[in-house]
Each structure stands twice: as C-alpha cells, then as structure tokens.
Structure 1
C-alpha cells in the first residue's frame, strides 16, 4: 500500500457524517475490507503528515503510517469508543510507533561497534539536574494549588492519571467540551504562573 500524499488536504475529503467507530467495529467483527479501506484512505495520509511534522523522514513516516493502520486492522476489537475517538486512537498508535522507532534507531545507532559502557546514559540525573527537577516539581505543585479547584481536578486527571477526556467527563458528570475547556484554561493559567 502506497500513500499518495503527505498533505491531508489533498486526500479525498471524508463524508462529514462518516461514523469512524462504526467502520472500526465492522473491521473488528467482520474483517470488513471495505470499511478498512475507508479508514485507511482517510487516516493514512493524515498520520503520515503528522509523522513528517514531528520530524520523521518521508520514507519512515510512510512506513510508520502503514504500520499504524495495519495495527488498526489487527487490533480493531480492542478499540473502545467510550475511551477515545477513532482519530485519537489511531494517532496514539502512530505516536507510539514513532517513539518505538526512535528508540530502535538509537539502539541500532551503535551498529556492530564494540559495546562501551561509557556511552550509556546514567540512570539517575546528575546532582544539578536533580536539584533543578526538584525545584521545578515544587513550583508546579505550588502553581497547581493556585488554580481553581475544578481546573486543577481536570488537569490532574488528564496529566497525572493519564485519563482520556471522555472518561474524565463521565467520571465528573460533565460535558466533554467542559472538560476540554477546563484543561485548556488550567494549562494556560499554569503556564502564566510558572512564567512569573
């Protein structure tokens, strides 16, 4: 499978009423190739474009985009629309593949040369780095305490507990848009507090 363009605007415009979750369900339950074809046509060019924007070379971006969509085919049954949108799920798969590829590249970078322990990074940060990280963590905690409680709660659930926005909305009994707004406002407020 060859991706035609890294520009998502050049790809065929999807039907605005397209139900991506329904297509993933058809792939999961029936191995529906037509449903997968629609998912591939829509997401592959967008994933490739995202990967290029995040620093991947064109060939690697294409390879990772294809691998991401193959993962969608293989793991469609694991998709839970209550946890995230299809686009979020697909781009998360792509991001993980990009991170893994970066790790492999760093590990493979030594080639067949002799292994030298001196080239390994330390497990623990240097003392000045550790002291800086400790100070920064204290500043973040103090800034979080200055946020309105509802913003701090949404931010903690999203960033510290790594909860998807949809789950936070369900847990707090709030509309999804409200949760996203609170997190966005909290991040902006936190940034201002940390810059001062």
Structure 2
C-alpha cells in the first residue's frame, strides 16, 4: 500500500467490514494497523509472541466489533487503538495473574480422573447423571465445563473462544466444579 491512507479511507474500510463483512477491506485495515500495533506491543511485552498475540486479538476484535465504530464520534485510528488498548490491558492482566494458573493444578486431578476413570464413563447411567447435573449449572458455567472437559479446550482457548478474560474462565470452572461436587457427592472426582 504505497498511497497515503487518510481518515476517510479507514472509515470506509471499517464500514465495509461492519456492513458487508468485506474481507478485502479488512485486509487493508490489517495491512495498515498490524505493523503499528506490533511496534507498540513490542514496547509493552517481553517477547515477540505476546506482541504478535496482541496484534491478532486486536484485529480479530476489529473484525467482530466493526459495527460498533461510529465515525461521527471519533477517528478510525482512535477506535482501533482503543480496541488495542483493551486487548493489551487484558493480556497484561493475564500475565500478572499467572498465579491463578496454580488453580489449574488443583483442577488437573479432576480432569485426569474424569478421563481415566473408565468405570464412571462406561456406566451409561453415571454419564447420564453427570450430564444432567451439568445441565443444571448456569449457562455460563456449562459452557466452560463442556468446553474444558468434553471439547478438551485449554482455559486459554476457552477465554479466546468465549471472548472473556482468562480469570473469568478459571473462576467459572472453579465454581462449576464445586457445584458438581456438591451435587454428585465425594465419590465422584
């Protein structure tokens, strides 16, 4: 892209993404913003993969949320950089909250037993009982439990898939497991 890009062009591309899901317009936005976002992210994150993740997540959010852009309220660059700022804050919180990853060690034996305890899953009635108890959980907790245990997604993958902070995923999983233990009793890990 050798010609100079102006505010009007950026707005047109964002509107094309919002209204027509125009992939070519998104490609232009990506080519314009990705190098700038990467340069900014490199100053905030210790490694290249984290900086690249901010670019990917920001541009994914631009694709998904383009309909929220209103050129009457501000510049396209301001809107995209606000999206980037939010992604950056979430990523920094994730890094600072890595102590929460210890929670996954507490959950791991539960996941391991759920997968390796053939008796509980060979028993059709036991599986049916487990599923019926899961169905009683709030929808948000059901999504996390099913994604983690049945779809075998990591907590990080669930956070991206559900567009939620990692800490929220961990909290929902912890609460759901506590509720499942209450419902099923101590003999079901």
Q: TM-score, normalised by structure 1?
A: 0.48
Which structure: greater helix fraction? 2
Q: Which TM-score applies when normalising by structure 2?
A: 0.50
